[in-house]
Chains A and B, each alone.
Chain A
Amino acid sequence: MIDLLCSQLGEAVQSAEQVGDELRVRLPASSLMAAARLCKEHGYNYPCDLTAVDTRSELVMVYRLISLNSGQQVVLSVGLPRSGARVPTLSGVYGAAEWLEREAFDLFGVRFEGHPDLRRILLTDDWEGHPLLK
């Protein structure tokens, strides 16, 4: 998978390393969709989790995709600016992304471009701000 992602996405792969059963790949937002589709085509059929981490210098989106056949995990991470973060939605690739992206929008303020229903999910509609930002 590591070779496949590197050959298909070429220069776009910023870093890739295997840690235990996790393949950690860092990408720019523009290559995220292509990488996710590639993973799905190659057996990563279980979109385990999707979340964000605020490192104070940037906001990192973390996508954990798992192949139930091999047990391998691909962890895609995308660095975004802390304010006005935008990233394409994966809800067209994985069904589970729809609610997970709503949660990341709600708590971190990430805008998912092309999302069919980007509303707050855990907090009330009139909440101001995004509480998980540091």
Chain B
Amino acid sequence: MLQQSILTEHVTLNMGPQHPSTHGVLRLELTLEGEVVVDCRPVIGYLHRGVEKIGEARTYPQFLPYTDRLDYLSSASNNAAYVLAVEKLMGLEVPERAKYLRVIALELNRIASHLVFLATFGNDLAATTAFLYAIRERELIMDLFEMWVGARLTQSTFKLGGVSDDVPEGFVQQARDFCRLLPGRVDEYDRLLTGNRIFEARTRGVGLLPPEVALDYACSGPTLRGSGVAFDLRRAAPYEMYDRLDFDVVTHSSCDCLGRYLVRMQEMRQSVRILQQCLDQLPEGEVRAKVGRVVKPPAGEAYGRVESPRGEFGCYVVSDGGTSPRRVRLRAPSFFHLAVLPQMLRGWKVGDVVAILGSIDIVLGEVDR
């Protein structure tokens, strides 16, 4: 009798940095036993540009466009965290119309970002049609921004003291048309994906993130709310004029990939509600407070925090009274979500890695900074 024992040594597999499902340059060092993930070590830094260091060598207004390029799917929320921190330092009050326009920019960005999530998540799970549909609707948002500020992706809509430009003639009507259109389209995505058996089989019960672990790793945004924790900065620490708006904080208690997906789908509908209220109530007036050419906030420190589509995006600015910050610290939610990823992957198969990684919706631009 030939006796041969099968070798079951662990195999190390590099996923990335040039893998289509890693959504950027990320490398996952997977330790596998057969097809099962035993351990994972995310390797980041491929996109590190030293943005925090650059911040120390630029004046306060000069640094703003750099923030657009962090979470490039939602440039407005990066802008917002930075200007909120600097305005707090300066004690600057923003005109009412500018606050409304800022919220419009933030919510349009949220929808655009969730549409990209939907597109890529569907694509990762072999539902290519979803990609085409979601990108089609995102295009309408890009057009709105092109009409408003000229840029489509890195918009720099925010400026210290307000927004860069007032919205042009016809913008409000076009935005209203978009708000009327989108809910029907989200219904369409629901019919396409949410009830789909293959999609459900790949996401339901997969990649569990218990709420206590999520909190311990300071997860936020849909990743945290998909674990049933109702924490949303728009409600918990309102900025601009979110305290005057009527919307629901969406949560899902299933803690799995499907839960995180469902939270984002519902959030698009809530963002439409917010947009409609802003467009209805949009007051007349100035869109930018008077800010001198030279910005010199008094010495001190401030922390600005906003609910970006991915979670808490924070900006900690320390001023020494000069024209450039002493320190700009950027707190990127995706960084925290990648740190907890190994815990979500253990015990799942290689094929599930793609679904789980997709469900936390990372952007490497903000992870690596």
Contact = CB atoms under 8 A, between A and B. Distances in A.
Chain B CB within 10 Å, residue with most, of A22, A53, A68, A122? A122
Nearest to A45: B215
B237 A71 contact: yes
A22 B218 contact: no
Interface string B309-330: 0001010101010000011010
Contacts of A49: 218, 303, 314, 316, 329, 331
Given A96-B336, A122-B44, 12 more contacts: A46-B231, A49-B316, A53-B326, A55-B320, A95-B217, A96-B339, A99-B335, A121-B44, A121-B45, A122-B45, A122-B368, A132-B53
Contacts of B56: 134
Interface residues of A, number: 30
Interface in A38-80: 45-49, 51, 53-55, 62, 64, 68, 71, 73
B interface, size bucket: 20 to 34
Contacts of B231: 46, 68
A134 B51 CA distance: 15
Interface string B30-65: 000000000000001100101011001000000000
B213 interface: yes
Contact of A47 (B218, B314, B326): B218
10 residue pairs, one from A and one from B, having the closest CB atoms: A95-B216, A99-B339, A96-B218, A122-B45, A95-B217, A122-B48, A51-B329, A53-B327, A96-B217, A49-B331
A16 B369 CA distance: 32
A131 B216 contact: no
A68 B218 CA distance: 11
Contacts of B45: 120-124
A62 B52 CA distance: 16
A41 to B, nearest CB: 14
A68 B214 CA distance: 13
A46 B44 contact: no
Nearest to A55: B326
Nearest to B233: A71
Contacts of A122: 44-45, 48, 368-369
B7 interface: no
22 contacts: A45-B216, A46-B218, A48-B312, A48-B331, A51-B316, A53-B318, A64-B316, A68-B236, A94-B218, A95-B213, A95-B340, A96-B217, A98-B339, A99-B336, A99-B338, A99-B339, A107-B52, A122-B48, A122-B368, A122-B369, A123-B45, A123-B48
B229 interface: yes
A64 B368 contact: no
B215 A46 contact: yes
Contacts of A45: 215-216
A72 B202 CA distance: 39
Nearest to A120: B45
A105 B318 CA distance: 20
Contacts of A73: 303
Contact of A131 (B50, B314, B335): B50
Interface string A105-134: 001000000000000111110000001101
A114 B368 CA distance: 25
Contacts of A134: 56
Contacts of B314: 48-49
Nearest to B237: A71
Contacts of A98: 339
Contact of A132 (B52, B229, B236, B336): B52
Given A49-B314, A68-B236, A131-B53, A94 B48 contact: no
A94 B237 CA distance: 22
Nearest to A102: B339
Contacts of B320: 55
A96 B232 CA distance: 19
Interface in B214-262: 215-218, 229, 231, 236-237
